[in-house]
A and B are shown apart, each in its own frame.
Chain A
């Protein structure tokens, strides 16, 4: 892997965000809007619900957004290349597909850091919720959600590569497909029995169960963290394999040159 080429691809997206206030605003707009709406809802409900409801809910909201931003950082940045009809230019350059993946992952880190820091500060300022209530376990929680976001983002990217812009709604919708079985705002035990094994197969479920465990007991849930890391290793490997498989298919079908024109 050549880091100068990865840097070139990162700069291409940084140029884009520097020149595009709507794109820049979009990084902050939805997380802040979610936080404002659901923050007030939790303020209202905390008197009737669990004593730590506000911590559970706002913590979950911010952590979920990390997963979503990580996924979007990859899939929307890839869509930018499709919309610009720039993919053939990239694929006739010496760029390796792994360098494209590395660049998109880095961009997703930048996006989620920006969104996460701003959301964390607003939650602290507006609702007196400090995300660091999770202690040091916050770091592995964030890393696990980020990697799961990458796995979903790479699957989205592989699907857009294969089926073109017809599949672009996946960039906005695929993460929400796993949200109901990720135990984001409620514990796994709430789910019907047949759905619980599916939920437990999601790395995100172990992060959110772990988050509630930390808030309740102040102890780091190592078992949840290891399971999440193991599942993530499997999913991100499968996602990368799917990307390379679809790249081979589009090369066989000659679809690269037509990307962006479907």
Chain B
């Protein structure tokens, strides 16, 4: 069953087309990677999927509902974390998480917060001010916030960008296991090609707002006659792909 259904989504800004007639669907429990060079339209696409941005044309259906009409119902069942979004730094981790737990209507926030802080190995920082966290710890706090409501779909924008390799690997394994155990759908962007290749069930390759390819990492690598995803990425980003050139 498709939990994300995007149909002919287009976003134009003053004559510039950031996302151009994009259509795809994502199945429940899938780990779905969104790949593309800077300016490909990834963040614009995620923003439209979360109702932060209004599409010019096209529709976004999440969990069988239209984001334009049923945003509140959808947003209570999904969550989002981005390296580029922060949290109030004058609050402690517990205070920040308590605020969001209440916004998401979590019944017993203390237990959920304790569990998530332990899961991301930041329980010792529960009463630390958020401003005192390292960038890696901030990312883990943001991920903890994103899992507060046990989301059916988790949207992540470059979740491991500021993590050291050890924590990044642990985070990947953790997210994979949560997806498998709870049948959570993960929709994420990353510039880490190895990571994309390792954990994604399918990848959507976006370039200049258009879908270049959509399939398993192996299918995409085969299609571009390269040995790995990173080489595919470089080929597309540097304009050596005949499809892009055309």
Q: Which residues of A contact B (CB under 8 A)?
A: 2, 4-5, 7-9, 11-12, 15-16, 19-20, 80-81, 84-86, 88-96, 248, 251-254, 256-257, 260-261
Contact = CB atoms under 8 A, between A and B. Distances in A.
A3 B82 CA distance: 27
Interface stretch (B29-37, B48-56, B203-211): B48-56
Contacts of A95: 103
Given A92-B80, A93-B104, A254-B44, A11 B98 contact: yes
Contacts of A261: 84
B91 A19 contact: yes
Interface stretch (B71-79, B183-191, B218-226): B71-79
Contacts of B98: 8, 11
B105 interface: yes
Contacts, number: 106
Contacts of A260: 86
A145 to B, nearest CB: 29
B111 to A, nearest CB: 17
A12 B13 contact: no
A2 B53 contact: no
A230 B170 CA distance: 60
B133 to A, nearest CB: 14
Contacts of A11: 98-99, 102
A5 B103 contact: yes
A24 to B, nearest CB: 12
Nearest to B73: A94
A96 to B, nearest CB: 6
B103 A94 contact: yes
Contacts of B82: 88, 257
A81 B208 CA distance: 32
Contacts of A16: 88, 90-91
Chain B CB within 10 A, most for which of A16, A85, A92, A95: A92
Nearest to A255: B53
Chain A CB within 10 A, most for which of B43, B79, B88, B100: B88
A261 B88 CA distance: 14
B86 A256 contact: no
A92 B52 contact: yes
A7 B102 CA distance: 8
B225 to A, nearest CB: 36
Interface of B: 11, 13, 43-44, 47, 50-54, 72-73, 75-76, 78-80, 82, 84-92, 95, 98-105, 129, 145, 155
Chain A CB within 10 A, most for which of B44, B54, B101, B103: B103
B105 A257 contact: no
Nearest to B81: A89
B75 A93 contact: yes
A74 to B, nearest CB: 17
Contacts of A84: 86-89
Contacts of B155: 92
10 contacts: A7-B102, A8-B101, A15-B91, A91-B52, A92-B155, A94-B105, A254-B11, A256-B53, A257-B53, A257-B85
B52 A251 contact: yes
Contacts of A91: 51-52
A90 B75 CA distance: 10
B99 A2 contact: no
B13 A85 contact: no
Given A4-B105, A85-B85, A257-B85, A94 B53 contact: no
Q: Nearest 4 CB-CB pairs, A to B?
A: A8-B102, A85-B86, A94-B76, A84-B88
A92 B87 CA distance: 13
Contact of B52 (A12, A248, A257): A257
A86 B101 CA distance: 15
A95 B149 CA distance: 14
A94 B54 contact: no
Contacts of A86: 85-88
Given A19-B90, A84-B86, A89 B52 contact: no
Given A8-B98, A84-B87, A261-B84, 6 more contacts: A4-B105, A15-B95, A86-B85, A88-B52, A254-B13, A256-B52
A2 B76 CA distance: 13
A94 B13 contact: no
Contacts of A2: 105
A94 B75 contact: yes
Contacts of B86: 84-86, 260
A89 B53 contact: no
A251 B60 CA distance: 15
